[in-house]
Amino acid sequence: MVSRISHTSEGFKVSELTHLAAQHALGVKISMLPSRTVDTKLFSGKLLSCEIQPGLIVTAGDVIYLTNDSVESESDPAIMCGILLEGEPETMDVVGYGPITRVAHRAALFGYSEPTRFQLSNMKGRRSRSAGFVIRPNFFARFGDEINSDGLAALREFNKVRFRYDILPRSSVLLDLARRSLDHPYDEQLGALFIESNTLSFVIEAAQLLGQERRMIAAIGKRHYDKVMEARDILDASLVSPPKILELTKRVGVNLTTLQANFKVVFGTTIFGYVRTQRLQMARVLLREYHLTVGEVGYRVGFVSPSAFTAAYRRYFGYPPGQDMTRERA
């Protein structure tokens, strides 16, 4: 079977990766991909690591560290992307390049063009629940020069430098995909096919976020883009009690008009609209994972009444908050 990818004057379309995956899946014999239970002196829990396509590896785990001994690993050239779903911030030492820190709900992306060693230490008693993917250089070989102008090209660039590290823009899509890598209702061949599809969606979303970042930098400049990201990080860290907009502009060192305009260019909404959206995303997590009442969740995310919260939730998600409670319990 020959797979063909179109190329227009606008460049290769990253969504076509999905069609390529579907064609590829028709000719692949799928085996079961179980999570492996591990119990060692270093950590215990469940791990999943499997090459689902040439050069594409799914990784997921839910473990508790049992000792403060260093956990060290060495990896051949690759691109790694992962989200810490639960747990305290993890500081990992990249030997020769210094420490990097992963925080919950933010996708970390790093690539390296030579064998690289990683070390984790002082982790005793900590739970680490995360999911993501690893891409080897041969994954991109099938696309040839077709990806030069697309988001996948930005992703591949992470494999062309000695070491590069970035935090991707916040994405509820990536969070959902990461959770599904760990928790899904399928088994055996259907489970294997689901993991393959879910991981490819993870790659696509990461590539699109990188492509979006590159376009935004081209539109407003690297300095202004960094200031918007700094403002976003401040808001994300204080969604329950966000700073006033004037205070926010002082903290990032940009005037009010410039910050508001650039924020809307990058996120497609105002600063207030962004905070409101993130609070609704927070509300969905509280409903699905903590099983609080609709009224309590609405109060926790800043709404004065359950009816106002329900109306806002329905407008944003397309269904009332009670449906998320019922769906998760089912």
Looking at residue 123, its pLDDT comes to 84
Q: Give the C-alpha separation, 150 to 135, whole Å.
A: 17
Give pTM, 2 decimals: 0.70
Q: Give the C-alpha separation, 203 to 212, whole Å.
A: 14
Looking at residue 187, its pLDDT comes to 78
Q: Give the C-alpha separation, 166 to 81, whole Å.
A: 10
| CB proximity list for 113: less than 8 A, separation 6 or greater | 77, 159, 160, 161, 162
Using one digit for the tens of pLDDT, what is the confidence trace for 242-255? 899 999 999 999 99
Identify the burial level of 224 via C-beta atoms within 10 angstroms of its C-beta, where 0-12 means exposed, 13-18 middle and 19 or more buried.
buried
How confident is the model over 313-327, as a mean pLDDT?
85
Using one digit for the tens of pLDDT, what is the confidence trace for 276-289? 998 898 888 888 87
| CB proximity list for 197: less than 8 A, separation 6 or greater | 21, 25
Q: Give the C-alpha separation, 178 to 195, whole Å.
A: 11
Query: Is pLDDT larger for residue 147 or for residue 293?
Result: 293
Looking at residue 30, its pLDDT comes to 35
Asked if residue 298 has pLDDT above 80, the reply is yes
Q: Give the C-alpha separation, 18 to 108, whole Å.
A: 23
Contact 71, 120 (CB under 8 A): yes
Q: Which residues pair with 202 in a beta bridge?
A: none
Using one digit for the tens of pLDDT, what is the confidence trace for 99-114? 888 888 889 999 999 9
Looking at the chain, the whole-number percentage of residues with pLDDT higher than 90 is 33
- Roughly how many angstroms between the first and final C-alpha of the chain, as a whole number? 41
Looking at residue 257, its pLDDT comes to 93
- Mean pLDDT for all residues in the chain: 82
Asked if residue 27 has pLDDT above 60, the reply is no
Looking at residue 36, its pLDDT comes to 65
Using one digit for the tens of pLDDT, what is the confidence trace for 256-276? 999 999 999 998 999 999 999
Using one digit for the tens of pLDDT, what is the confidence trace for 2-24? 333 333 434 444 444 444 444 44
Query: Is pLDDT larger for residue 109 or for residue 157?
Result: 109
Asked if residue 299 has pLDDT above 70, the reply is yes
Q: Where are the alpha helices (DSSP H) in 87-221?
A: 151-156, 172-182, 188-220
Using one digit for the tens of pLDDT, what is the confidence trace for 175-206? 889 999 988 888 778 888 899 999 999 998 99
The per-residue DSSP string of 192-205 comes to HHHHHHHHHHHHHH
Q: How many angstroms separate the most distant Cα atoms in the chain?
A: 59
Both structure tokens of 148 = 């030069």
How confident is the model over 115-125, as a mean pLDDT?
87
Query: In order of start, what are the domains of the chain with their CATH numbers?
Result: 16-219 (2.60.120.10), 220-329 (1.10.10.60)
User: Residue 261's closest CA among 247, 249, 250?
Assistant: 249
Sign for the CA dihedral angle at 139, 143, 145, 150 comes to: negative
Contact 267, 212 (CB under 8 A): no
Both structure tokens of 279 = 């609070």
Q: Give the C-alpha separation, 130 to 103, whole Å.
A: 11
95, 53, 51, 102 alpha-carbon torsion, rounded to 10°: 40
At residue 140, φ and ψ (nearest 5 deg) are: -80, -10
Contact 79, 158 (CB under 8 A): yes
Using one digit for the tens of pLDDT, what is the confidence trace for 136-154? 988 888 766 665 555 677 8
Both structure tokens of 45 = 């829990």
Q: Give the C-alpha separation, 103 to 316, whole Å.
A: 26
